C-alpha cells in the first residue's frame, strides 16, 4: 500500500462507461446487473461516485456507489446502492468514506423532504455491504421481493424460487456524525487494516466546507411534519 493514495470524486459522463465495465467485471449473483444507460443517467444527474487509487504506475478504479431516485419503484424513495470496493483495498475505511461523501452530497445539495426515505436494498444472502450500511446509519426495516417479471436472470434465488432483498433505511440523525467527520477530516481513511491517504474531490468538500457542515447539523435535528388529523 506504500506510495498509493486515493481520491473520492463524482463520476463524469465521460467515465460512465468505465464504471459500467467495473460493475460488469465485479458482478455477483447477489448484485442487480445494470446496463450502460443506467450509469450514464446517474453520471448526468451527478449521482454516481467513485474511488480511484493513484499508484506510481497508473490510476485504478477501486470502488463505486450511487445515490438517486429508486429506479425500481413507483413510490418516491431515494436509493443508496451499488457500493463496492475491490477486496484488495478493503479494511481501510474507503467504502465508509465513499458512502459518507455520497449521502452528504445528497443532503447538502438537494435534501429530500422528510417524507421521502433514503433506502438501500441488499440481497438476503449478501453479507458484504451490511457492515458499511450500519456504519453509515442505515438500519434494517424489512424485506422486499421485486416483481418476477423484472428479475434479471442469474440472481440468486431462495428455496421458494424468489429473489428477496433486505430493506435498510437511513437514519437522518446520523448526519450530525457526518458533519463531525467532515469537520475533522485530515486527509486519511482508516479501518482495521490501517490508514491510507485520501482526498475527497467533491464541490461541497473543496469549496463550501463550513456551509456543508452547518447544513448537515441542521438537517440532522429536523423532525418529520406530523399530519393534521383533520386532513383525513
Q: Is residue 87 part of a domain?
A: yes
Q: Is residue 120 part of a domain?
A: no
Counted residue by residue, the chain has a size of 232
Q: Is residue 169 part of a domain?
A: no
Kindly state the cell numbers that stand for 129: 455491504
Q: Is residue 105 part of a domain?
A: yes
Question: What percent of the chain is modeled with pLDDT above 70?
Answer: 93
Q: What is the pLDDT of residues 168-179, one digit of tens each?
A: 999 999 999 999
Q: What is the pLDDT of residues 107-122, one digit of tens each?
A: 998 888 888 999 999 9
Q: What is the pLDDT of residues 6-21, one digit of tens each?
A: 999 999 999 999 999 9
Going by pLDDT thresholds of 50, 70 and 90, the confidence category of residue 206 is confident
Q: Domain with 48 in it: what CATH number?
A: 3.40.630.30
The arithmetic mean of pLDDT across residues 95-102, rounded, is 97
Residue 58 has pLDDT above 80, yes or no: yes
Residue 54 has pLDDT above 90, yes or no: yes
Q: Is residue 217 part of a domain?
A: yes
Q: Is residue 48 part of a domain?
A: yes
Domain count, the chain: 1
Residue span of the structural domain in which 212 resides: 5-112+174-222
Residue 225 has a pLDDT of 46
Q: What DSSP line would sit under 41-108, residue for residue?
A: HHHHTT-EEEEEEE-SS-EEEEEEEEEEE-TT-SS--EEEEEEEE-GGGTTSSHHHHHHHHHHHHHHH
Q: Is residue 20 part of a domain?
A: yes
Q: Is residue 14 part of a domain?
A: yes
Amino acid at each position: 500500500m506504500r506510495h498509493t493514495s486515493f481520491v473520492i470524486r463524482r463520476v463524469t459522463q465521460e467515465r460512465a462507461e468505465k464504471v459500467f465495465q467495473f460493475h460488469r467485471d465485479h458482478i455477483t449473483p447477489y448484485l442487480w446487473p445494470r446496463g450502460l444507460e443506467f450509469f450514464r443517467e446517474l453520471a448526468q444527474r451527478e449521482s454516481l461516485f467513485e474511488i480511484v487509487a493513484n499508484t506510481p504506475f497508473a490510476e485504478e478504479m477501486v470502488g463505486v456507489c450511487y445515490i438517486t431516485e429508486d429506479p425500481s419503484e413507483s413510490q418516491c424513495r431515494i436509493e443508496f446502492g451499488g457500493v463496492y470496493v475491490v477486496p484488495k483495498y478493503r479494511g481501510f475505511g474507503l467504502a465508509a468514506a465513499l458512502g459518507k461523501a455520497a449521502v452528504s452530497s445528497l443532503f447538502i445539495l438537494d435534501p429530500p423532504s422528510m417524507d421521502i426515505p433514503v433506502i438501500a436494498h441488499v440481497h438476503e444472502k449478501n453479507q458484504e455491504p451490511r457492515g458499511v450500511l450500519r456504519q453509515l446509519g442505515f438500519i434494517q426495516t424489512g424485506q422486499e421481493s421485486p416483481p418476477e417479471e423484472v428479475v434479471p436472470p442469474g440472481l440468486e434465488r431462495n428455496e421458494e424460487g424468489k429473489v428477496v432483498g433486505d430493506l435498510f433505511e437511513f437514519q437522518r440523525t446520523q448526519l450530525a456524525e457526518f458533519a463531525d467527520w467532515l469537520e475533522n477530516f485530515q486527509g486519511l481513511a482508516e479501518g482495521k487494516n490501517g490508514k491510507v491517504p485520501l482526498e475527497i474531490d467533491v464541490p461541497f468538500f473543496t469549496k463550501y466546507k463550513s456551509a456543508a457542515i452547518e447544513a448537515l447539523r441542521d438537517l440532522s435535528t429536523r423532525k418529520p411534519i406530523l399530519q393534521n388529523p383533520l386532513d383525513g
